[in-house]
Amino acid sequence: MSIRYDATQRIFRLETNHTTYQMQVGPVGHLLHLYYGRPVPDALGYRLLPRDCGFSPNPYDLREHRGWSLDTLPQEYSSADNGDFRCPSLEVRTASGMRGSDLRYVTHEISKGKYALSGLPAAFDRDDTCETLSVTLKDAATGLEAELLYGVFAAEDVIARAVRIKNAGTEPMTLHRVASACLDLPFGSWELLHFHGRHCMERQPERRPLLHGVQTISSNRGASSHQHNPFLMLCAPETTEDTGECIGVMPVYSGGHRTDVELDQSGSVRVVTGISDAGFAWQLSPGETFTAPEVLLSFTPSGLTALSQTFHRFLRRNLCRSKFSQQPRPVLVNSWEAAYFDFDADRILSIARGAKELGADLLVLDDGWFGRRSHDKTSLGDWTPDEGKLPGGLEPLVRAVNDLGLQFGLWIEPEMVSEDSDLYRAHPDWALTVPGRKPAMSRDQLVLDLSRPEVSDWIFETIAGLLRAHNITYIKWDMNRSLTDVFSRALPPERQGETAHRWVLGLYEILERLTAEFPDVLFEGCAGGGGRFDAGMLAYVPQIWCSDNTDPYSRIAIQYGTSFGYPASAVGAHVSASPNHQTGRRTPLSSRAAAAMAGMLGYELDPGKLSEDEKAEIRRQIADYREFAPLIQLGDHYRLGTSAWMFASPERDRALVTVTVPAPEGNPRPLHLRLKGLDPEKYYAISRIRYFGCEIEPAPLQGVYSGAALLYAGLTLPQLYGNLPGAQLLLEQTEAL
Ligand code: GLA
């Protein structure tokens, strides 16, 4: 039993293997948060001693008790205009102008299994061990009901939360903000670790103390964005990778999002997280329900790495439904940086032949194959092959690629339309544009209105048609601009504030239908690289193109930041040509491969331009990768610093360690590393070492070490000189010497 209710004290206790979460129904029905942290056996009722705080109002029925204020007490779901002046989870206005709500406990239910959210991605109960708590709160004046959902994954140490808002009143209301969760932390000192960035430089970690007031991590771009990833951690100031308390908050949502972190007058911290309220206004008629997306919470006292690993495992096992989340991925060669728009069938076939020679499994035909797409100003929406480039369409090419013994994959950007396209000429109203105003353009394209069922049907049929007609086993699903001019020609004026969220629901519906009909197709997400790298997408696609930047110097930094929330199995990572097309930097092929082997490996270059030596090197890289892949994809990931990492098998019998030196110095100090994730009782042999990027051949390194020696004393590597030099070591359990 991971959920218990103590009816005397009216306390809910949610227990995972290593955490306790408690809340209590207060004297007049407010649902108060008590605790989230290490396991405690006691019911912590009345721990929150009310205190009289000037200018913090009291609920009317508790006006004799000046200490009882919603402004100071921690709550499970905050609201506006009811005496709590901190961040609201809910903002509502009824037709008669009432604002705010006073939510009080009505009932609850504890059930086996995990709740489901209609139309939204959500974690699932892989092992039949999850339990659900549903608590219904009600605002008597408006009739609004908030059903707070808690999915308790005990073994995984994750609590999933979501909210259903029902209009159980008699007059229409408009929701202006509906958060998925509110987490009040009444005690402790916390820092915020979040992941900001930009196109080609996504998910850069930034850790800072909380300041009084509200710190907001958000995207109002219609997508989760390159700029602010919808994942954050709160950690105690002393928390390190290996020790200390921290909490992870991960919305399962791919659209605009908003997380407020507020440090209030009492020193308490409130986190309110959910969909972006920028322009949001959802009409809710009597009897209707609105469902706010899921958010995943996890706590650990054991440092950032432990928290990351919890999310890694959970996303792989309990969120991503694709069979590929557990199965080996193909090593692919992608045509984009090899040919851009400049190709015909022969050119693609010659890349495919080269890919086969390198030992790859899959050839991906990227942008440029459809309409008259010889540049990026045209043809999105016209998903019929360009006969000029591909005579006879896709089929002869797919067959020829298959005949080489390769799978065939295809790029598509289904959510978009070019102004210069037959689709736009036929259906100008299918694009998001504001009547009477020229839309903001981005990459010369517009966004299709996915809130319209006929548009999402058309997208589904178009992609399903391609997949039914051809032997396509992989789709790269791209999305290359943010949403602006968010106006739907199909919605009435009073519903325009619903467009952005309905758009995301439309996207999820298409993904749901496609992944259900084509479970054997590997879908890879992409949005100009990592502009939509989030748990919502990962429910449908097992991997996402992490960044358009494949320069290993940058990529190592991007993948480092990404690793805090997301597993390597979610990271699409390619070796591209040198000099790099994004940064102009030259790097050795071996260093590029070492960086790409922290994710799902691919190549994005023209094999025809490789020397025989380079081809041989790539064949060896791919052979190595196939051997390492189970560790990388399903092993435990450890950050050993910003530019060194390792994967260890759950059985602790194998590990792959990668160390890079981004800025080699003259007369370098010894490179010394304490490893992680090994068993101190076991012995390990360095069964393989690959140096990369080294201009001067390093001294050999081999031997057998105890796990204890590698963990506590560490390993000293030879001096490494070169251009992003480093070493990749495979450790395998062996007998003691
Ligand atoms: C985006 C993607 C790239 C490539 C191009 C094609 O930028 O991130 O990988 O597919 O689009 O236009």
Residue 401 is given by DSSP the state H
Q: Whose CA is nearest to atom 2 of ligand 1?
A: 528
Residues 6 or more apart whose Cβ sits within 8 Å of residue 136: 105, 106, 107, 108, 145, 146, 147, 148
Q: Which residues of 356-381 are buried (b: 16+ CB within 10 A; e: fewer)?
A: bebbbbbbbbbbbbbbebbebebbbb
> At residue 737, does pLDDT exceed 80?
no
pLDDT score of 696: 87
Q: Which CATH architecture has domain 641-734?
A: Sandwich (2.60)
Between CA 206 and CA 18 the distance in angstroms is 27
CATH H superfamily, domain 3-319:
alpha-galactosidase from lactobacil brevis (2.70.98.60)
Whole-number Å distance, alpha carbon 526 to ligand 1 midpoint, is: 8
Beta-bridge partner residues of 269: 185, 263
Q: What is the CA radius of gyration of the chain?
A: 27
> At residue 560, does pLDDT exceed 80?
yes
Q: Give burial (CB, 10 Å; 0-12/13-18/19+) of 411.
A: buried
> At residue 49, does pLDDT exceed 80?
no
> Does the beta carbon of 202 lie inside 6 Å of ligand 1?
no
- The three-class DSSP label of residue 122 is coil
Between CA 353 and CA 54 the distance in angstroms is 76
Query: Tens of pLDDT along 511-530?
Result: 999 999 999 999 999 999 99
Catalytic: which of 81, 376, 512, 614? 614
DSSP H stretches of helix in 427-498: 453-469
Query: Tens of pLDDT along 320-356?
Result: 999 999 999 999 999 999 999 999 999 999 999 999 9
Per the annotation, the verdict on 387 as an active-site residue is no
**Packing angle of the helix pair 612-634, 345-358 (nearest 10 deg):** 70
> At residue 123, does pLDDT exceed 80?
yes
Whole-number Å distance, alpha carbon 720 to ligand 1 midpoint, is: 35
Query: Tens of pLDDT along 697-718?
Result: 898 888 999 999 999 999 999 9
- The three-class DSSP label of residue 161 is strand
Quick one: tokens of 317?
């096992």
Distances in whole angstroms, Cα of residue 410 to Cα of each of 32, 383, 397, 407, 711: 51, 11, 11, 10, 44
Query: Tens of pLDDT along 232-289?
Result: 999 999 999 999 999 999 999 999 999 999 999 999 999 999 999 999 999 999 999 9
Contact present, 36 and 298 (Cβ < 8 Å): no
Q: Whose CA is nearest to atom 12 of ligand 1?
A: 367
> At residue 46, does pLDDT exceed 80?
no
- The three-class DSSP label of residue 350 is helix
> At residue 48, does pLDDT exceed 80?
no
Ligand 1 closest atom vs CA 529: 8
Per-residue confidence band for 439, with pLDDT thresholds at 50, 70 and 90: very high
pLDDT score of 236: 98
Between CA 245 and CA 263 the distance in angstroms is 18
For CATH 2.70.98.60, the residue range(s) in the chain are 3-319
Quick one: tokens of 533?
């790298």
> At residue 47, does pLDDT exceed 80?
no
- The three-class DSSP label of residue 78 is coil
Contact present, 32 and 26 (Cβ < 8 Å): yes
pLDDT score of 736: 84
Residues 6 or more apart whose Cβ sits within 8 Å of residue 268: 72, 74, 184, 185, 186, 187
Whole-structure pTM value: 0.98
Q: Whose CA is nearest to atom 1 of ligand 1?
A: 528
Query: Tens of pLDDT along 351-401?
Result: 999 999 999 999 999 999 999 999 999 999 999 999 999 999 999 999 999
Q: Whose CA is nearest to atom 11 of ligand 1?
A: 528
> Does the beta carbon of 478 lie inside 6 Å of ligand 1?
yes
> Does the beta carbon of 195 lie inside 6 Å of ligand 1?
no
> Does the beta carbon of 548 lie inside 6 Å of ligand 1?
yes
> At residue 482, does pLDDT exceed 90?
yes
pLDDT score of 244: 98
Quick one: tokens of 441?
């353009």
Residue 630 is given by DSSP the state H
Per the annotation, the verdict on 534 as an active-site residue is yes
Strands 173-185 and 269-275: antiparallel
Query: Tens of pLDDT along 170-226?
Result: 999 999 999 999 999 999 999 999 999 999 999 999 999 999 999 999 999 999 999
Q: Other CB atoms closer than 10 Å to residue 153's CB: what's the count? A: 27
> At residue 75, does pLDDT exceed 90?
yes
> Does the beta carbon of 124 lie inside 6 Å of ligand 1?
no
Q: Other CB atoms closer than 10 Å to residue 95's CB: what's the count? A: 14
Going by C-alpha positions, the residue among 141, 194, 133 that lies closest to residue 159 is 133
Whole-number Å distance, alpha carbon 340 to ligand 1 midpoint, is: 9
Quick one: tokens of 86?
């901190």
For CATH 2.60.40.1180, the residue range(s) in the chain are 641-734
Query: Tens of pLDDT along 446-460?
Result: 999 999 999 999 999
Query: Tens of pLDDT along 588-623?
Result: 999 999 999 999 999 999 999 999 999 999 999 999
Whole-number average pLDDT of the chain: 97
Contact present, 602 and 359 (Cβ < 8 Å): no
Query: Tens of pLDDT along 675-693?
Result: 999 999 999 999 999 999 9
Whole-number Å distance, alpha carbon 478 to ligand 1 midpoint, is: 7
Share of the chain above pLDDT 90, in %: 96
Query: Tens of pLDDT along 663-673?
Result: 999 998 889 99
Contact present, 295 and 181 (Cβ < 8 Å): yes
pLDDT score of 700: 83
> Does the beta carbon of 549 lie inside 6 Å of ligand 1?
no
pLDDT score of 45: 84
Instruction: Please provide residue 151's backbone torsions phi and psi, each rounded to the nearest 5 degrees.
Output: -100, 115
pLDDT score of 285: 98
Per-residue confidence band for 35, with pLDDT thresholds at 50, 70 and 90: very high
pLDDT score of 50: 80
Residue 310 is given by DSSP the state H
